Amino acid sequence: MYSLAEENYLKAIYHLEQETKGEVSTNAIAERMATKPSSVTDMMRKLADKKLLSYKRYKGVLLTSEGRKTAANVIRKHRLWEVFLVEKLDFHWDEVHEIAEQLEHVQSEKLIAKLDQFLGNPDFDPHGDPIPDQHGNVKRTEKKLLSELDKKQRGVCVGVKESSSDFLQYLDKKKITIGTKVTVLGKEFFDGSMVIQVGRDQFFISKKIAENLYVQTN
Amino acid sequence: MYSLAEENYLKAIYHLEQETKGEVSTNAIAERMATKPSSVTDMMRKLADKKLLSYKRYKGVLLTSEGRKTAANVIRKHRLWEVFLVEKLDFHWDEVHEIAEQLEHVQSEKLIAKLDQFLGNPDFDPHGDPIPDQHGNVKRTEKKLLSELDKKQRGVCVGVKESSSDFLQYLDKKKITIGTKVTVLGKEFFDGSMVIQVGRDQFFISKKIAENLYVQTN
DNA sequence: AAATATTTTTAGTCTTATCTAAATATTAGA
DNA sequence: TCTAATATTTAGATAAGACTAAAAATATTT
Ligand SMILES: [Mn+2]
Ligand SMILES: [Mn+2]
Ligand SMILES: [Mn+2]
Ligand SMILES: [Mn+2]
């Protein structure tokens, strides 16, 4: 249906739209895709011709509903494959992203439907990100960053914001994963650092860590 | 490592080399790839530069051991994915080829190793074709075409030569699959047609059917 | 409101993989 | 062996997707 390049642009724009809550700029797309702004302009023309987004010179782009649906489907595939790699093939959660980047472009509606079923229709990927349904709808859940919690508050880890290998390996070392209960024992206002309790362990974490862990407080 | 186009050329040449047992001609490659001879010539130059095959103008090509290993690895991936699709996702054996054509290009040594293990290190794909090992070695088995059997001879179906959807669906209708025992009850020398016994059923098959079913006689 | 800085687009080039049409080499027939 | 048919290569073109450098539009300072 759509080329690999087109799918990757749509996916990047989809994510950027949610972050910026509005038009997405040429430079933002170029940076996210590790490409040059002039290449982005060319592609925006093409995607606009195909009615996947609206584009006005110098004004940035917005996905059409067709574009958004297409992007969500690629993300759906990416996340389902990540679940497969972790749950079935025993990959570690820090090593599945690159492989899913390739698998997400395999074209077959039936394959995805069967994979979804095989995996037990999961709602979240190994990093806690929601898996869009067949229509591209994502059920958004209440979650906040650990850094937003105050002293004495308690939350359950439900996802990571960054999912770089370094960060995920840090979390493993500290025995934090999806579902882990975390209690804030202390919070330093000067630098945002915290002391938290995880299981029986208590330790210090920097603001940067706290800003990349999603938790749910009930 | 190698591009999608390069991998597909290598795979086609690998198969053609086995069929012709010698140099593979430009036209044969063009026909197999559904492309034009001039495109093949260009690609042969490129693959020769990369030492994946030897090419002399007007003389056809032969894979180098590096080329053969690369081709076998793509075939290994193709067949492992076919096993996955049939065994784990409950696809029918007539609908997995197109999807495997895409999956075979996913790059990750670790993925293939883990997939192989997950599937229980299978030796054959759903069509009875052998799965090359990590080094590209294929264990070849004794098999012949059903058409080579004579009256009263008996064989076990171990594979199909063609695996078009039409043919596979015909086999299903006749309850023939890998492992099915087949006995030749009669053979017409004029047109090569046969009457065979499968389970309790006896029926007529054309030469074309008999020439596309591999059997093992012990 | 100018001047300056930043962002975005345009123009032109490159690589990969394809094609058509024409030229050349090889093979087969008379 | 000469000729005709077939196979293969060369030359030149195209499309996708990227790049650089320069031009144009927009945004930010003074
Ligand atoms: Mn990912
Ligand atoms: Mn993920
Ligand atoms: Mn196949
Ligand atoms: Mn097969």
Q: One digit per residue, pLDDT tens: chain B, 218 residues?
A: 899 999 999 999 999 999 998 999 999 999 999 999 999 999 999 999 999 999 999 999 999 999 999 999 999 999 999 999 999 999 999 999 999 999 999 999 999 999 999 999 999 999 999 999 999 999 989 999 999 999 999 999 999 999 999 999 999 999 999 999 999 999 999 999 999 999 999 999 999 999 999 999 98
For residue B90, the tally of other CB atoms under 10 A from its CB is 10
Q: How close A106 comes to chain B (CA, Å)? A: 6
Chain A residues within 8 A (CB-CB) of chain B?
A: 85, 88-91, 95, 98-99, 102-103, 105-108, 110-111, 114-115, 118
Interface contact A118-B89, CB threshold 8 A: yes
Ligand 4 centroid distance, CA of B127 (Å):
5
Q: Which residues contact A65 (CB under 8 A, 6 or more apart)?
A: none
The side-by-side arrangement of strands in the sheet containing B201-205 is B144-145, B213-216, B154-160, B181-187, B194-198, B201-205
Q: How close A105 comes to chain B (CA, Å)? A: 9
Per-residue pLDDT of A90-122, as tens digits, reads 999 999 999 999 999 999 999 999 999 999 999
Question: In the predicted model, is pLDDT for residue A55 greater than 90?
Answer: yes
Q: What is the pLDDT of residue A5?
A: 98
Using 50, 70 and 90 to split pLDDT, how confident is the model at A218? confident
Ligand 1 centroid distance, CA of A96 (Å):
7
Instruction: Report the C-alpha gap between A111 and B101 in whole angstroms.
Output: 13
Interface test with A, best of B97, B102, B104, B118 (most A CBs within 10 A): B102
| Domains annotated on chain A, with CATH | 4-63 (1.10.10.10), 143-216 (2.30.30.90)
For residue A110, the tally of other CB atoms under 10 A from its CB is 12
Average pLDDT of chain A?
Answer: 96
Closest CA to A85 of A105, A101, A74: A101
Per-residue pLDDT of A165-186, as tens digits, reads 999 999 999 999 999 999 999 9
Using 50, 70 and 90 to split pLDDT, how confident is the model at A54? very high
Of B90, B102, B108, the CB nearest to A107: B102
Q: What is the pTM of this model?
A: 0.94
Q: Are A120 and A101 in contact (CB under 8 A)?
A: no
